[in-house]
Structure 1
């Protein structure tokens, strides 16, 4: 036990001596003398001028703090302004003990009023592309094996804070500029651990917030790495919210992603109005989207667990008399049928929709739109029900055509008058079934195998509707049972109200 005590005392003494040595160094260190060396090192590393116009101060303590003011980093020669970045002030607080292990641990890094311009030229070159000056290779460490490269020290930042910052991006081809104003940013960058981010900003005047975690900084900056880079971020733009969670193999290029995406947009029109240059969109409200997307190298990613929901929305601006109460669309993947359900109000008449449609892949270029697209839906309104089952042909062409069976049941045709936008006769217990094909040549629609029952009559045959050049209706009907008196009574009863003779 006595030996252990002496060992601990010895280790403590060595540690105290090391800390004392660092403290003495810091107390006698004059940062101003290092300005030329810092500027020269930056010039050799980037080929650009770094100007330290303001004073440099070092506050000696166990947490030495370096203060730098009025810093400028030169832009590319072709840049639109002389400085790529300007900084009013910077404060760096270091932890001493990690320095003894060859590590750089920054307890606090504060950037005050950074003004950064990222821009490209007409050929697409970025001003962030620097060209280090050629330098003599560093002398190897004594005793080091030939060819050994010494790993750079690990850098960790407990707290990174940006105050009143601005980051602008200028596209040299279009001349357009996007500006991100940063009133506040706080982040943590632990060595070898995921980074944490909390950002409040404004993108061209629109409020933006980003919070969450991402993988280690060293992995992000390593262009040769291909291990999955994790991200778990939530983005808020105006009152919309998007959450991203998953991995990206190449985060700097956006390739090799496998992400779960959740988006909520309370009002799509309000979001578009808050974004300069965005086109006007319908006032879709309560919009929610959930999907998993994986990069396969194809133009369109692999999509899974697809779910889309639309809440109460007034569409009268684009479809007079139409409002949505709810619409839900879901599919396990792009190769599976799409499940649809919802309720739409047309001319104050609630109309329900339920059924399945063909796979989403058919709606994607190259996804199989040349194959028949199945349809199996049921519409219900005012007690009436219409079931449509079949397929859509040539979906990707400019003239798709349907080949479906129709089964219609209407307890009271007059009850659909408001939905139709015109007065309908009070036919009771109307039933119709048949095969509907078209539009074909000249937009022609053919109803074959027609079976029509109404007012005690039973008709069958074929009906052809040709809309152009003039609307033409041809019918070849056979009456298995016709009650003319009942039909005339039902049709005539609506004569005065409907304006018919």
Structure 2
């Protein structure tokens, strides 16, 4: 036998004998007597106290297995709970040979039902362990350090861990997450060697997902590790390769794919991932400045085949989309195509990327977009997009939009979208983080009907909120009304069916008073040249306020100094019966405008001076007419109306006097005057005067606005035996069927009433005709 073989034999006998002696020794002792020794070894290795509340047992073997129950490892002092790890059952297989080298080496550690907490305590991660300091130097509270016997200089090694039915809580500064552990296997076969972790995890009772990590140290335990991570969940897979440290810092390149990204909302519900399909991505990521923050995105590329955003914006879908980022804090180039409510669109954008996505960022945004296959619309945005932790925090951008026909939006937005054409908008748009309003500044809206410029703030959602200051050089309101599907003439001219009906002439349809209860609108407008109701007006100024159920028009002015017309209106919809105050001062209203609005035939020329101050109450125009209280005054000098209009207005008097007026031609008016007052819907006219080509008359009378009846005592001029005399004519009855008569019986019945009401037959306004009594 050689010396070498003899030496090996002796060593083998000594080792085996020592192990055998150790096994014999273990069989003769009670392991519970050595709890303090075990606790001391763990304390020295981790700096944390170990609590063993349950009994310990040891199997008889050269690789004995220690079993324990109710085991706890202490948390850092000041943590959210006293323990970091709590285990229902603990099984550890020891290496007896390692005891010869003063190492407590656990070959296999099995944990059943562990509850593990990862958190930061005073900015210190609790998963980083520090060896216990010598006696007298420890900063650990005395209560956290149990009394221990000498550990004999043993060190701790764990080679493999198997966990089943556990729970891990990540309580990090950014958020708290709880993950169930269905199974987890850890392997670290040798000191300074690689570490592998393979796990099957469960989040919020959804289907399990798998995470596998392999790391190789580049130095000590706290130094960066070369790492590889594999993730699989709900059909999505990702692979990461780079470096990571136990303190939570990392630097890695991640590649992955997700057939249906929305399935991952089970794991990341806070992100609200959209229904995005065919995702393929590659990105470089590093940790944020605070553990648990969103990662910092570096060089990246992303593409997907389709996405459905109908849950966010109904009808919005994307087709192919690509995104490329050059570096962290660089620029993302985006190209996309899609459709909204079946209408196609494309867009291209350059968007600044945040250097730290967890902070507040203002990012440069340049976007161009086109929509609609026919009558294409173009949009450009240049400005800044604000994000906080990758959530929308505001938009401020110069905007240019051109649309050949706004009606293309009816199928997308609302049938009420007006039929405006050649629309160009330019201005600055601002959206706040809460998306409660749209701010427009330095804005210009040009259409085929005119151009508006100014600023506005428009609320998003209900109730309606808007504030605007607008200016325009030319504005065709008639074209705007038509674009909204209305006609300016239809409101003034009664339909034939209505004229023949037995209902009231003044509409008794309820006005839309509820529309005033909710909106908050403040509108100021200046228009140099306005076309309204086929009449051109020079200079319009408007102040309109709607708030708390009240509408104030204060004032509306037509014409420069002096104003052609000034209107003030106060309407209060808050009481059960709405109330209105109305004031009109119009020194020179075009007569053609009035006859056109009243639906009277033929041309007209001249101006009418009109002044009125009235109040009324009611839910409809008819109800308000029956409560009118105030005054009315009208004056007109040299002017003309059509013969057809004269016959419509004075038919009763003309018939009574057998005055024939040709159907064609014009009637010259030399003077017209009307003065009256209203009291609860009863109009008392003390002056009714007319001097025209075919008819001269003066008179007075009474009109019941609610009942729509009249009783007028007029003095038309008639030729009797070659002389001009004023002949009393009584016009009375409902508005629809009023008739004029010279019958004495009527005079006897009605004349006394009229004389009593109006103080006799003296005409006021125009001069009384010669020979009148």
Query: Which band: TM-score by shorter chain?
Result: 0.5 to 0.7
Cα deviations by residue, 1:143-193 (Å, 9 ceiling, x for unpaired): xxxxxxx99889583xx25153424549799xx994533335253433322
Give matches, 1:151-162, under 5 Å.
Answer: 157=159, 160-162=160-162
Q: Secondary structure at the match of 1:333?
A: coil
Bigger radius of gyration:
2
Residue in 1 aligned with 2:224? 228
Q: TM-score, normalised by structure 1?
A: 0.65
Q: Secondary structure at the match of 1:219?
A: coil
Match of 1:253 among 239, 247, 253: 247
Cα distance in 2 for partners of 1:303, 1:425 equals 44
Give the Å deviation of 1:366: 5.6
Q: Secondary structure at the match of 2:335?
A: strand
Residue in 1 aligned with 2:499? none
Q: Secondary structure at the match of 2:59?
A: strand
The answer to whether the 8 A contact 2:106-2:157 is kept is: no
Give the Å deviation of 1:109: 1.6
Residue in 2 aligned with 1:485? none
In the superposition, relative to structure 1, how do residues 349 and 216 fare at CA in structure 2: closer, same or farther (>3 Å)?
Answer: same
The answer to whether the 8 A contact 1:92-1:106 is kept is: yes
Structure 1 gap segments, 5+ residues each: 1-5, 137-149, 479-487
Cα distance in 1 for partners of 2:470, 2:248 equals 57
Indicate whether 1:56 and 2:49 are aligned. no
Q: CA RMSD in A?
A: 5.4
In the superposition, relative to structure 1, how do residues 376 and 88 fare at CA in structure 2: closer, same or farther (>3 Å)?
Answer: closer
Cα deviations by residue, 1:286-343 (Å, 9 ceiling, x for unpaired): 3565432345858986531133445533332332222233433322124433211112
Match of 1:323 among 306, 312, 317: 317
Residue in 2 aligned with 1:183? 183
Cα distance in 1 for partners of 2:202, 2:394 equals 45
Cα distance in 2 for partners of 1:394, 1:119 equals 35
Structure 2 gap segments, 5+ residues each: 44-48, 137-151, 432-436, 459-464, 488-773
Q: Secondary structure at the match of 1:43?
A: helix
Cα distance in 2 for partners of 1:172, 1:295 equals 13
In the superposition, relative to structure 1, how do residues 200 and 444 fare at CA in structure 2: closer, same or farther (>3 Å)?
Answer: closer
Residue in 2 aligned with 1:483? none
In the superposition, relative to structure 1, how do residues 86 and 391 fare at CA in structure 2: closer, same or farther (>3 Å)?
Answer: same
Residue in 2 aligned with 1:140? none
Residue in 2 aligned with 1:346? 340
Indicate whether 1:403 and 2:398 are aligned. yes
The answer to whether the 8 A contact 1:414-1:423 is kept is: no
The answer to whether the 8 A contact 2:94-2:108 is kept is: yes
Residue in 1 aligned with 2:8? 15
Residue in 2 aligned with 1:213? 214
The answer to whether the 8 A contact 1:70-1:89 is kept is: yes
Q: TM-score, normalised by structure 2?
A: 0.45
Cα deviations by residue, 1:233-252 (Å, 9 ceiling, x for unpaired): 1234555544332113xx23
Give the Å deviation of 1:347: 0.9
Match of 1:285 among 276, 286, 289: 276
Residue in 1 aligned with 2:63? 65
- Structure with more contact order per residue of length (Cα contacts < 8 Å, sep ≥ 6): 1
Residue in 1 aligned with 2:366? 375
Cα distance in 2 for partners of 1:324, 1:185 equals 42
Indicate whether 1:391 and 2:386 are aligned. no
Residue in 2 aligned with 1:306? 300
Give the Å deviation of 1:196: 1.7
In the superposition, relative to structure 1, how do residues 365 and 122 fare at CA in structure 2: closer, same or farther (>3 Å)?
Answer: closer
Q: Secondary structure at the match of 1:198?
A: strand
